[in-house]
């Protein structure tokens, strides 16, 4: 429902603003402002995007929760799309999303409305193994594997050495 209202309301707001601004300052200055805001917004989006990507990389290195840098990156991406859309209303919303305090407020509002049921970083010990982790140091050394621990597979024995006419892979010097 909200998406439908946005698809109807945003173009009406943009048309009204174009008529008002164009009537005040004229056609060419209005078009120049629209183009100038797209250029300035794109450069700001690139700078903010690089910073958000750095924050995301740092959160992965520290094994922190990456949801906040991801949310900031998504809002920066949305801001870029809004800034490239011609119009004064979309430019105002796009420029506001490029401001870190505005993004923090939007994220705080979203955190109040979203409930996270479970969050874990990395695999848990024994995950994916029916009898527990077979590589666990707590597992006794002389125990036979359970029937579920056996993994079947096929193999082919390769001859030792290369044949004299082997061309090589091209990745190493022979």
Decide if 170 is inside a domain.
no
Distance, CA of 98 to CA of 53 (rounded, Å)? 14
State the pLDDT at residue 14. Answer: 92
State the pLDDT at residue 114. Answer: 83
Helix axes 27-61, 2-25, angle to 10 degrees: 140
Largest CA distance in the chain: 87
Asked whether the beta carbons of 115 and 123 are under 8 A apart, the reply is no
Decide if 145 is inside a domain.
no
Decide if 151 is inside a domain.
no
State the pLDDT at residue 8. Answer: 92
Asked whether the beta carbons of 1 and 54 are under 8 A apart, the reply is no
Decide if 136 is inside a domain.
no
State the pLDDT at residue 89. Answer: 94
Query: Is the entire prediction scored with pTM above 0.75?
Result: no
Helix axes 88-97, 100-113, angle to 10 degrees: 80
State the pLDDT at residue 13. Answer: 94
Decide if 118 is inside a domain.
no
State the pLDDT at residue 48. Answer: 87
Full pLDDT tens readout for the chain, 174 residues? 888 998 999 999 999 999 999 999 999 999 999 899 889 988 888 888 898 889 889 888 888 888 889 999 999 999 988 988 888 999 999 999 999 999 999 999 998 988 877 666 555 555 555 555 556 666 665 566 566 666 778 877 777 766 666 666 666 665
Q: Which domain holds residue 18?
A: 9-112
| Count of structural domains, the chain | 1
Decide if 3 is inside a domain.
no
* Distance, C-alpha 141 to centroid of its chain: 44
Decide if 149 is inside a domain.
no
State the pLDDT at residue 42. Answer: 86
Decide if 32 is inside a domain.
yes
Q: In this structure, what is the dihedral angle of CA atoms 56, 59, 63, 68, given to the nearest 10 degrees?
A: -80
């Amino acid at each position: 429902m909200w998406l439908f209202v946005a698809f109807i309301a945003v173009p009406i707001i943009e048309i009204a603003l174009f008529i008002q601004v164009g009537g005040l300052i004229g056609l060419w200055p209005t078009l120049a402002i629209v183009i100038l805001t797209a250029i300035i917004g794109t450069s700001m989006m690139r700078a903010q995007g690089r910073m958000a990507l750095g924050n995301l990389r740092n959160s992965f290195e520290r094994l922190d929760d990456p949801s906040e840098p991801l949310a900031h990156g998504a809002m920066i991406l949305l801001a870029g799309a809004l800034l490239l859309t011609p119009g004064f209303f979309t430019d105002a919303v796009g420029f506001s999303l490029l401001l870190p305090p505005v993004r923090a407020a939007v994220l705080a509002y979203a955190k109040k409305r979203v409930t996270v049921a479970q969050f874990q970083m990395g695999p848990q010990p024994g995950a994916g193994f029916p009898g527990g982790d077979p590589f666990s140091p707590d597992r006794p050394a002389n125990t036979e594997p359970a029937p579920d621990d056996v993994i079947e597979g096929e193999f082919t024995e390769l001859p030792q050495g290369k044949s004299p006419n082997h061309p090589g892979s091209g990745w190493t010097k022979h």
